[in-house]
């Protein structure tokens, strides 16, 4: 595998480490207890609880491996060193859709943390990529996956979310 670095905020990194620890300590123990309980019920060939517990164990172990591999490729950004004069990862960007005259605010994050429902867009997404490095008042054209273009004006760039 290529040595590709994905960027992540300190908060996102800490959440991943916390999830990993929880899975290793609590998740494994809980699923082991479920397997022991199911085994105590006798015949495993027709034991739905045993099958479900083994499937859950497989899911937990898979997620542990996934997080451990991900942590090896992550680069934690130092929010204190980010230049908030231009769009960059970790910053909040307030935009105006020029055609619809509607404002939206996004936090630019690495692909690992992207969560559009919570206003976090990846620096690799069409909007994120178009905004990277641009300054306040810049107007950018963003090509959507359908081939249409949306024109955004950057209203503000900040380290904190606007109220």
Instruction: Identify any residues that bridge with 120 across adjacent strands, giving them in sequence order.
Output: 107, 115
8 A C-beta contact, residue 132 and residue 122: no
Distances (CA, A) of 7 to 10, 13, 37, 107, 143: 10, 9, 42, 14, 24
pLDDT at site 82: 83
Q: How confident is the model at residue 144 (pLDDT cuts 50, 70, 90)?
A: confident
Average pLDDT over residues 126-146: 93
Q: What is the fold, at CATH topology level, of the domain defined by 6-76?
A: Helix Hairpins (1.10.287)
Q: What is the DSSP letter of 25?
A: I
Domain ranges of the chain: 6-76, 80-158
Say yes or no: domain 80-158 is CATH 3.10.50.30: yes
Q: What is the pTM of this model?
A: 0.74
Q: Which two tokens stand for residue 102?
A: 């509607």
């Amino acid at each position: 595998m290529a040595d590709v670095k994905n960027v992540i905020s300190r908060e996102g990194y800490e959440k991943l480490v916390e999830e990993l620890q929880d899975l290793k300590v609590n998740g494994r123990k809980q699923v082991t207890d479920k397997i022991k309980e199911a085994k105590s019920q006798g015949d495993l060939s027709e034991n739905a609880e045993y099958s479900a517990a083994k499937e859950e164990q497989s899911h937990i172990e898979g997620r542990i491996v996934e997080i451990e591999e991900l942590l090896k490729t992550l680069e934690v950004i130092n929010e204190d060193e980010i230049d908030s004069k231009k769009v960059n990862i970790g910053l909040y960007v307030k935009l105006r859709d020029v055609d619809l005259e509607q404002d939206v605010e996004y936090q630019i994050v690495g692909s690992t943390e992207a969560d559009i429902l919570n206003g976090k867009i990846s620096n690799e997404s069409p909007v994120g990529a178009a905004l990277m490095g641009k300054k306040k008042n810049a107007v950018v054209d963003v090509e959507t996956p359908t081939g249409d273009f949306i024109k955004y004006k950057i209203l503000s760039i900040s380290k904190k979310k606007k109220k």
